């Protein structure tokens, strides 16, 4: 019986954590970023109101 309850409790906790993160709704400020070609662009130029993934990287 313990084997049945333990995964169920873990699943409930994980679902509650993910729902809390999804409801937070933080907005990224509209920032000016430098593109690879040297020109500048605003973040709002790439976002149509939906979610956005920004990948920051560098070469060493």
Q: Specify whether the CB–CB gap between 5 and 13 falls below 8 A.
A: no
Give me the chain's average pLDDT, please.
78
Whether pLDDT at 52 is above 70: yes
pTM: 0.39
Q: Identify the pLDDT of residue 39.
A: 92
Q: Identify the pLDDT of residue 37.
A: 93
pLDDT digits (tens, 9 = 90+) for 16-33: 777 666 566 667 777 888
Phi and psi at residue 45, to the nearest 5° = -65, -25
């Amino acid at each position: 019986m313990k084997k049945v309850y333990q995964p169920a409790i873990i699943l409930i906790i994980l679902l509650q954590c993910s729902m809390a993160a999804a409801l937070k709704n933080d907005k990224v400020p509209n920032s000016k970023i430098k593109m690879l070609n040297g020109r500048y662009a605003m973040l709002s130029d790439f976002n149509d109101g939906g979610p956005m993934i920004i990948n920051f990287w560098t070469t060493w």
